[in-house]
A and B are shown apart, each in its own frame.
Chain A
Amino acid sequence: KAGVTQTPRYLIKTRGQQVTLSCSPISGHRSVSWYQQTPGQGLQFLFEYFSETQRNKGNFPGRFSGRQFSNSRSEMNVSTLELGDSALYLCASSLPSSGSNHEQFFGPGTRLTVL
């Protein structure tokens, strides 16, 4: 079974631009979560999508948004990029049932650099 895939793996943008990152979950997984990882703040939860609906959201500004498609693939978008948005963005998928004990499977991440 293929794992979680994220594209692109690396991205360089300039301040003020916007960016879209893509995540394909493991087949059969309907929940997709996004996390931001930086050296200073560590791993922080962005949002979770389940059945095309945002089910949970972290404490990030409205410049960060996401969506999920009917095939469970997810995208996240960051508008008006700032230098502080430079980070590794990780996507994780999990089984369709709700429940706190379900393991989240992580993709390799997209490394975003904002110049």
Chain B
Amino acid sequence: AQSVTQLGSHVSVSEGALVLLRCNYSSSVPPYLFWYVQYPNQGLQLLLKYTSAATLVKGINGFEAEFKKSETSFHLTKPSAHMRDAAEYFCAVNRGSQGNLIFGKGTKLSVKP
């Protein structure tokens, strides 16, 4: 069975500081991993996805994530936080060939001025 664990339901950083959101996965097969962002009263927007082509994945809005098989991790980072990055972030894994996503509980990111 596949699952995703996001460490920390709330993360607060200062504007300009490093953003690090943690995600660990459990999968019996090579996983496809995703990071989505959700702004208030909106749906989910894909930030980036890992599909085994490269372990370091660059996404939109300056975010990137590194797939580490040995640590079963797929942490999301951004070198310098902006106020507009304040949102909820979800890590997700794909459930084999059937396509539906299994999501983590989400991490709410706050950015202080």
Contact = CB atoms under 8 A, between A and B. Distances in A.
A106 B97 contact: no
Interface residues of B, number: 26
B103 interface: yes
A48 to B, nearest CB: 5
Contact of A100 (B32, B42, B106): B32
Contact of B43 (A31, A99, A107): A107
Nearest to B52: A101
Interface string A54-71: 011010000000000000
A103 B96 contact: no
A100 B49 contact: no
B103 A42 contact: yes
A90 B102 contact: no
Contacts of B11: none
B99 A90 contact: no
Interface size range of chain A in the complex? 20 to 34
Contact of B99 (A35, A56, A106): A56
A55 B49 contact: no
A55 B43 CA distance: 23
Contacts of B34: 103
Nearest to A94: B99
Contacts of B101: 33, 35, 43, 45, 92, 104
Nearest to A42: B105
B51 interface: yes
Contact of B97 (A4, A94, A98, A104): A98
Contacts of A92: 44, 101
Contacts of A104: 46, 99, 101
